Structure 1
Amino acid sequence: MIIFRDKWKADAFKVILKKRWINLSKDELTYIGGDSQKLVSILQFDYGYPRKTAQRKVKNFWDSYSNSHV
């Protein structure tokens, strides 16, 4: 799965992530720390997504983000 640690230091990236999943708290963003698997786990818990759905949503988010920030 995708790890986006290199982007994590940019506050703008966290803002975009927060806009996509508005329920993410500051503590959760800190916990994620750029690890996409942690984001998947939080999406499962916060949104009730099955694991595969959460993984797909994270991948789709990353693909969209990467394509728009080339």
Structure 2
Amino acid sequence: MNQDQLKGKWKQLTGETKKKWAKLTDDDLKHVDGDKDKLVGKLQERYGKSKEEAEKEVDSWEEQEK
């Protein structure tokens, strides 16, 4: 899923996002607003992951959501 697709589907995906990453708040999801880099940053912040770990998780999640 490319950045435009993620942004376009973001409202539909927020429920799935909350299931996968329960530590993300509604405010976090509003801030992310379909931006992959912001999602990676929030995962780093909430879960203490490295950038590489967070990017791999997001990439894997995106593949599942296609």
Mark yes or no: TM-score above 0.5: yes
Q: Which runs of 4+ in 1 moved over 3 A?
A: none
Residue ranges of structure 2 left out of the alignment (5+ in a row):
none
Give the TM-score normalised by structure 2: 0.90
CA shift, 1:9, in A, is: 3.1
Q: 1:8: which partner in 2? A: 10
Q: What stretches of structure 1 of length at least 5 have no aligned partner?
A: none
**Correspondence list, 1:3-42, <5 A:** 3=3, 4-10=6-12, 13-42=13-42
Look up the match of 2:53. Answer: 53
Q: How far apart are residue 30 of structure 1 and its match?
A: 0.2
Deviations 1:10-64 (A, max 9, x none): 2xx1000100000110100000000010000000010000000000000000001
Q: Give the TM-score taking structure 1 as reference length.
A: 0.85
Letter aligned with residue 20 of structure 2: R
Among all aligned residue pairs of Structure 1 and Structure 2, give the percentage whose two residues are the same amino acid.
32
